[in-house]
C-alpha cells in the first residue's frame, strides 16, 4: 500500500468535516482501519494541518497546561473539547496533566525541563 501523504490526510479530514465523505468511505479508500481515520480527524480538528506535518512532539507551555486542566476541572468543556480549544493532540495527554495536577505533582513546560507551576 502506498504511503498516505500529510496533504492527503488533511484533504480526507477536510472532506469528512464538510460532509463530502464518511469515515468508513475514507477507510475503504485508504485501506486503513476506521479507528485510524477517526484519530486523524480528531487530531486535525485540534491542530489543523500541523497534525500531519509535525515531525517532533508538540511542546506545551506550563501556562497552557494549567489553563487546559483548570478549564476542564471547572466543567467548561469535555476533555475532547478542551483538547480542540487548546490545540492539544490527545485526550490522553490532557488526562496525564489532570492526574498530575490533582496529585499536586509539578507540571513543567514540555521539552525543556521547564519551570514548575504548582
The pLDDT of residue 116 is 45
Residue 1 lies in a domain: no
27 shares its domain with 61: no
62 shares its domain with 10: no
Predicted model pTM: 0.60
DSSP per-residue letters across 22-39: -HHHHHHHHT--HHHHHH
- Rounded mean pLDDT of 38-55? 83
CA atoms within 13 A on the CB side of 77: 14
Strand partners, 99: none
Number of domains in the chain: 2
61 shares its domain with 111: yes
CA 104 from chain centre, in angstroms, equals 24
Q: What is the pLDDT of residues 47-95, one digit of tens each?
A: 888 888 766 677 889 999 999 999 999 999 999 899 989 988 888 889 9
Domain carrying residue 14: 6-53
Q: What is the pLDDT of residues 93-116, one digit of tens each?
A: 899 999 999 888 888 776 644 444
19 shares its domain with 41: yes
The pLDDT of residue 118 is 43
65 shares its domain with 118: yes
Amino acid at each position: 500500500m502506498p504511503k498516505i501523504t500529510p496533504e492527503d490526510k488533511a484533504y480526507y479530514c477536510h472532506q469528512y468535516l464538510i460532509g463530502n465523505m464518511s469515515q468508513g468511505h475514507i477507510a475503504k479508500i485508504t485501506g486503513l482501519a476506521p479507528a485510524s481515520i477517526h484519530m486523524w480527524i480528531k487530531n486535525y480538528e485540534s491542530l489543523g494541518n500541523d497534525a500531519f506535518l509535525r515531525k517532533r512532539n508538540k511542546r506545551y507551555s506550563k501556562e497552557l497546561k494549567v489553563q487546559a486542566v483548570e478549564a476542564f476541572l471547572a466543567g467548561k468543556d469535555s476533555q475532547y473539547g478542551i483538547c480542540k480549544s487548546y490545540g492539544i493532540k490527545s485526550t490522553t495527554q490532557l488526562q496525564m496533566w489532570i492526574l498530575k495536577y490533582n496529585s499536586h505533582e509539578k507540571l513543567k513546560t514540555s521539552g525543556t525541563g521547564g519551570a514548575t507551576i504548582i
